[in-house]
Amino acid sequence: MTRPSPSRLAPGDLLRAGGAGLRARPARALLSALGIAIGIAAMVAVVGISSSSQAQLDQRLAALGTNLLTVAPGHTIDGQRATLPAEAEPMIGRIGPVTAVAATGAVDGAHVYRSDRIPKAETNGLVVLAARLGLPRTVGATVRAGTWLNAATGRYPAAVLGATAADRLGVGRPGPQTEILVGAGRFTVIGVLAPVALAPELDTAVLVGWDVATAALGFDGHATTVYTRSEESRVEAVRAVLAATANPQAPGTVAVSKPSDVLAARRAADETLNALLLGLGAVALLVGGVGVANTMVISVLERRSEIGLRRALGATRGHIRLQFLAESLLLSALGGCGGVLLGVAVTAGYAAYQRWPAVVPPWATAGAVAATLLVGGLAGLYPALRAARLSPTEALAAS
């Protein structure tokens, strides 16, 4: 005579048995799931809002030039002003992590006047700079009025004024008839820059094309400042090779700016926010787990008669244990998914109100659901074991 094998619950039967407990007490299940959802929503919202705020902070810090480095000629051993080689700019552009490079060159001896009637001594402290066409993109400059230099205007007597230079020269909106005296020739003002936060030296400058500066103003063609943008994670590495790249023959005569202190502040802020997010997420999960455990323990106490009846009808301890564990997981999944949706909605709404980019990290949503199921399973394990230990006679007698 063969020994009968123990009965097993099919996955579909297990889900129906677990869902039956939730449907039997919908109000309690809804409130319990709502408690879990609020905890998870709080976690997702905190992570999402913090991530959105961090993204906004990163954008603002990036606008401050965290990856901007400048190269300029230093001094020789005898104290003389050094000169950057003519090929310094293209050589720097060949460095792998460098994403943008542009240069300016001081035009010595060229002064700027509104007209030839201005006394020669009244230079207003303005300087003339030969500028590469890619300068605005590299330093984050914008044109307040008019237009920037292009391949055509860079070869002719056309000028773009810095914000302060335009004020001192009394130039509001440039036009075809707006001319200034640069050196010995007249230049047409075609544009005015807005104040440049990353390169304030451009505010008091009159910027002309590289070709016309060489042909008409006696410019020697050597850059006096090379602006570079590079990948933020490689800023220090780029800085380490800039001097040797700009002037391989005499790297000691090249002055390279230090990475912005804002870059260090950004990294410190990222580390602090990440630690805060992990701590808040752990607290929210703990609260949700306690809610699941409390709900399931009360459910076991209230449903002793049901447990006793099922045991009397042939349900094994394993059936009871799996039923209550499945019920705990279903309750956790319901609350977790609802909490994720609610948290994403709160994050999107708050980010839109603050005009931030809405950012909810994928790990926060996927991790919230997974962690909720894990915590819900652990929280429901004790009630499931407690329910399985009840004997039929004890459970029916208690009812």
CA-nearest of 106, 71, 63 to 257 is 71
pLDDT digit string (tens) for 53-71?
778 776 766 665 668 889 9
pLDDT at 333 over 70: yes
| β-sheet bridge partners, residue 187 | 180
158-161 and 185-193 strand pairing: parallel
Q: Which two three-digit tokens encode residue 93? A: 């552009």
pLDDT at 166 over 90: yes
**pTM exceeding the 0.85 threshold for the entire prediction:** no
- Given a contact cutoff of 8 angstroms between Cβ atoms, the answer to whether 253 and 88 are in contact is no
pLDDT digit string (tens) for 280-320?
667 766 666 676 666 666 666 666 666 666 666 666 777 77
Coil vs helix vs strand at 246? helix
